[in-house]
Amino acid sequence: MHKMVRIRVIPCLLLRGNYFYKTVKFKDPVYLGDPINILRIFNEKEVDEILILDIGASPSRKGPNLPLLRDIASECFMPLGYGGGIRSLDQMKVLFHVGFEKISLNTIAHENPNLVTQAAKAFGNQSVVVSIDVKKGLFDNYEVVSRNGTEKTGRDPVEFAREMEQRGAGEILVNSIDRDGTMQGYDLQLLRMVSSAVRVPVIACGGAGKVADFGAAVKDGGASAVAAGSMFVFQGKHRAVLISFPEQAVVEGVFAK
């Protein structure tokens, strides 16, 4: 019997200022709490990796909050990724030095796509993730948007993902803005379109509400990994803040079906 490839399940945590928040469709951020306290809980739950995205950094044109990120990296036992406000190889070098293993590029991948190429050459493809935020248009066409969902790019997600793969991105994170925070399931059509067009792993993001959604993203969407936010930080219909993570056996069960 062949061994099942382990599917990574990644909490995606949104930083704004010095605290974690969670959005719905990239709007109405809800305060979650102090990053160090939240990450300590995830440490205990032995998650595969964590992705931290600073949602305030690119819109305000600020760089990464290095003092806070240094503290976060020193507290975290699992592999860490970071995205938000990155504009140079020097910033990436500092982030890798303090303990981050992956850098997620989004807005800068549009403004200076050559930086993706340079980053892949300098740090290795496996260290570079390109995060693609996608919105559905009036006629169900998909468009890539940047600067935390505030700027249209006119780019098609499939074509953009292909270009980023050619430039050296080791992974593509596909985030559906329309599904963000809704907990109604991933956009499987969007995932299929992108995952069938590239050879690098695709991380599904935006819409997970239950463990079965992870299985659908992998089996029906072609994703290689799954990321989620609301599902791990809210509890019940009133969305009370409670940090949780499914048992490994439960996750493996949904992928084994």
Calpha distance 209→191 (Å, rounded): 16
b or e along 235-250 (b: 16 or more beta carbons within 10 Å of the residue's beta carbon)? eeeeeeeebebbeeee
Sign of the alpha-carbon torsion through 73, 77, 78, 79: positive
User: What does 87-148 look like in DSSP terms, one character per residue?
Assistant: -SHHHHHHHHHHT--EEEESHHHHH-THHHHHHHHHH-GGGEEEEEEEEE-TTS-EEEEETT
The residue type found at 163 is E
> Is 90 designated active site?
no
Catalytic residue among 133, 180, 187, 213: 133
Question: Which residues, in sequence order, are CB contacts of 85 under 8 Å at separation 6+?
Answer: 54, 57, 58, 61, 62, 63, 64
Q: How many CB atoms lie within 10 A of CB 115?
A: 20
Enumerate the active-site residues: 133
